[in-house]
Every structure is written in structure tokens, then in C-alpha cells.
Amino acid sequence: MDAMKNKFWFIQTYGCQMNESDSERYAGQLEALGYHKTEDMELADVILLNTCCVRETAEGKILGKIGELKHLKERNPALLIAVTGCMAQEWQDRLFDRAPHVDLVIGTHNIHQLITLIEERQKASDHYLAADMDIPAFHDLPAKRFQKFFAWVPIMNGCNKFCTYCIVPYVRGREVSRPVADIVKEIRQIAAEGYKEITLLGQNVNSYGMDLKDGTDFSYLLQAVDAIDGIERVRYMTSHPKDMTFAMIDAIAASKKVVNHMHLPIQCGSDELLKKMNRGYTTDHYLELAAYARKRIPDLVLTTDIIVGFPGETEAMFQDTLHLLKRVQYDMAYTFIYSPRTGTPAAKMPDQIPQEEKSHRLQRLMDVQNVFSLEHNQSMEHQVYDVIVEGPTKNDENNWFGRTTGNKMIIWENDGTAAVGDTVPVAVDKGQTWVLKGHLVH
């Protein structure tokens, strides 16, 4: 290969923030190898798809994308195609059977092997698979961060909860917490580099530290992180109602930087179904947590995840979910149609709900939730919020946006006075279901 020629990487990320964060660590390795970023897949020397398999829709989309890459490989046999992440972990070498043009399949614990695998692949003509979960989940890797003022900080990997519908524990392995000292070191560096906001990432942040067996827990971590100078906002994702404690809510309330947004997935409003889902809490317990959080954290923005059409969900159970939405009145709910995942207990449960009924329930659920989303956003009208400027919106260069501490997106007409990364006061003029419109306060 021409030594003078620039080499490019292209990464597409699917799934959750954990994958976003992993992608940054893949990018860091590619940069170390001398590759540069390209937005144009056609120009890339390495294409990496960092995948998700949480629902069938995600998997279908990714398989389609992998298929599309075939013609690029035919045109340029030197092109290196890597499929990484949760779907790679699930499919292993079956992916080579399905798509022989894929060069590398890399699982969730093998991120650090990218450089070696690329080198091996360039020497030989074989495919390579690295998807062994019996190795440490965290490796000291440089991240090439995709954003300038917002940084992901993984605090743990894996999940021990085994909700009966969910594939994550099978593809991410058991819970492993990163030591507090490593996390604090990374955040200090992030702060020194000028980042303003961090998000602590884990499938279940509230069980952080349990495996360390030294008394460390999420409250302790929050206190340690809160004390780091330079960071303005600390977010955390995702909370689990079984492991979230009142003491953790107190720690959030007592902190200076931990934001007033809590994402607390309930999944459904029926105790019977929660049991079948193996969620480990009742709706009563959930409501107590939510009420306590609202009492202790001023202006709390509460969001959730809901699954409709879990096997055996009757109309009455679905009504319980609608009722719960009306009681809690979330700021926003991420709503999903139950998707059977091979290997999970729920996929084999009786009384699977027909697709049409699932879609109909999803629509009814969204109709109920949208009213509350709109009401919450309208209640913010004529008030001023501090927003960290993220830049122009996708559709219109003149409209800029940023987020409040509660993670609400506000859009305003850019007058050139606010720069990306500034924290500025924005007055809300109009609350809509998904977004707020406002103007900069001068």
C-alpha cells in the first residue's frame, strides 16, 4: 500500500450509549494505527459496524447494512469490514456464513484486540473471530471522543438481572464494575480537556460496585465524581427500580452536579407481568421511589421505558400500564413492541401476542403518553433554562439546539452570539410534544 496515501475509518454505531462509548474506543485504536475519520463509507479502508441485537428490528437493519457492504468489498478487496458489539457476540462465526465478505467479528469483551486482528487479517487471508467473554471486560484504551463537550464514561459492563425478555446479559456477560479510581482518573482527564458534561454508563448503574465487594456503591461513586472540578453536569444511565435506593436518591439530591433527570424504566404497570418479566419489584415500590425522587430532586424530569405485548399480556394488564402512565405522568417514555429473542425465556412463553395487536397497543400507549409529554413541555413555557449549546439542528442550519439539565432539547434561532459548548440561558416560548422552542436571553 502507498505509504503516503491517507487511510480512512468509518464507524456506524447501533444500539445504546454503551455502544457509542465502545465505538469511541474502537476509533481511538484506528487513529493509533494512522487511520483518519471519514463520513463517506465509500472512501473508507476500514468499515466497522458496532451492532445491537436487543430487538429484531435492530438486527434486521444491521443485516441489511452488512449485505450492502458486499459491493464495496468487491470493488476494493483491500477494504476491511469488522462487525463488532452485541450482535457480533450473539452470531459469532455464523456471521461469516451469512456474509463471507466480513473480515472480523469482534465480541463485547474483545474491543482491545482490534489492532492485532487488523494486522493479522492484513498478513493472511483468513477471517478472524474474537468473541470470548471469559476475559476482563475493561481495557485501558484511548477513546477518540465523537463529541467536544459531552463525554461517555462507562462505569460497568454486563448485567446480572436476566429480565426474561432481554438478550443483554447473554451478549454483555456478567456485571463487572470499573474501580472508582479508574473512573475518577478518566473524568479528571476529561475535565482537563474541557468537557462540560459526562454520562456515567451502565446497564444498571444502581448495582455499581456490588461485585467489587469493598463497600463501594453508586452513592459513593456519585460523591467521588461530584467532587471533580471542571465538570458542569453529571448524568447517569440506566437506573433499575430494584436496585435504586432511597439513599442513592439522597446522594443525587445532595450533589452539586448530578442532573435532575432520572431514567427509571418500569417496563409495564402490571405486577403479574413484572413478575413474569423477572423485574424484581412491584408497581407500589416503583411509585414510592418515583414519589421520593420527585420530593428530593427539584424539577425532576422522569423518563421511562415500556414494553407492550409481552407474552400473556391481557387487555386488563395493558390497561394497568396505561393507568400507571397516568399516575406517574412521565416527561417521556421510550416505548417498545416486545420482540422475542432466541435464547431468552420469554421467547418460549405461551400466549405470544399477535403483531397487529402489539402495534395497536403501542399506538394507544403513545396516545396516552404524548398528552403528558406535551403538558410537561408546555409547563416550561415562559421560564428560562441553562442550556449547553450543541449546535445547528439536522434540518436547519439557522436553528440551534441544546439541552437543559433535565435533558430537554430546546431549539432557538441562531443569532451568532452563542458558540457550541457555551452554557447559555434560553427562554422557552413554546412547549411541543418532543421539543421546546425558545430564544436566547441576552
Total residue length of the chain: 442
| Close Cβ partners of 205 (under 8 Å, ≥ 6 residues apart) | 155, 156, 218, 236, 237, 238, 239, 240
Residues 276-305 touching ligand SAH, rule: CB under 6 A, are 305
Mark 135-174 with x for binding to ligand SF4 (rule: CB under 6 A) and - for no binding.
Answer: ------------------------x-xxx--x-xx-----
Question: CB of residue 201 vs ligand SAH: minimum separation in angstroms?
Answer: 10
307 interacts with ligand F3S by CB under 6 A:
no
Residues 34-63 touching ligand F3S, rule: CB under 6 A, are 52-54
86 is annotated as contributing to ligand binding: yes
Asked if 327 contacts 283 with a C-beta cutoff of 8 angstroms, the reply is no
Torsion angle, alpha carbons of 167, 172, 178, 184, to 10: -80
Q: How far apart are CA 67 and CA 102, in angstroms?
A: 10
16 is annotated as contributing to ligand binding: yes
Q: How far apart are CA 268 and CA 353, in angstroms?
A: 15
| Close Cβ partners of 4 (under 8 Å, ≥ 6 residues apart) | none
Partner touching 437 among ligand F3S, ligand SF4, ligand SAH, none, CB below 5 to 8 Å by kind? none
Burial class from Cβ neighbours inside 10 Å (0-12, 13-18, 19+) for residue 415 reads exposed
Question: CB of residue 308 vs ligand F3S: minimum separation in angstroms?
Answer: 18
53 interacts with ligand SF4 by CB under 6 A:
no
53 is annotated as contributing to ligand binding: no
362 interacts with ligand F3S by CB under 6 A:
no
Question: Reduced to 3 states, what is the DSSP secondary structure of residue 11?
Answer: strand
Asked if 324 contacts 266 with a C-beta cutoff of 8 angstroms, the reply is yes
168 interacts with ligand SAH by CB under 6 A:
yes
238 interacts with ligand SAH by CB under 6 A:
yes
Alpha-helical runs (H) found in 303-354 = 315-328
List of residues contacting ligand SAH (CB under 6 A)? 54-55, 165-166, 168, 203-204, 238, 240, 265, 267, 305, 307, 336, 338-339, 341
List of residues contacting ligand SF4 (CB under 6 A)? 159, 161-163, 166, 168-169, 203-204, 240
Which segments are annotated as binding site?
16, 52, 86, 159, 163, 166
Which segments are annotated as binding site for [4Fe-4S] cluster?
16, 52, 86, 159, 163, 166
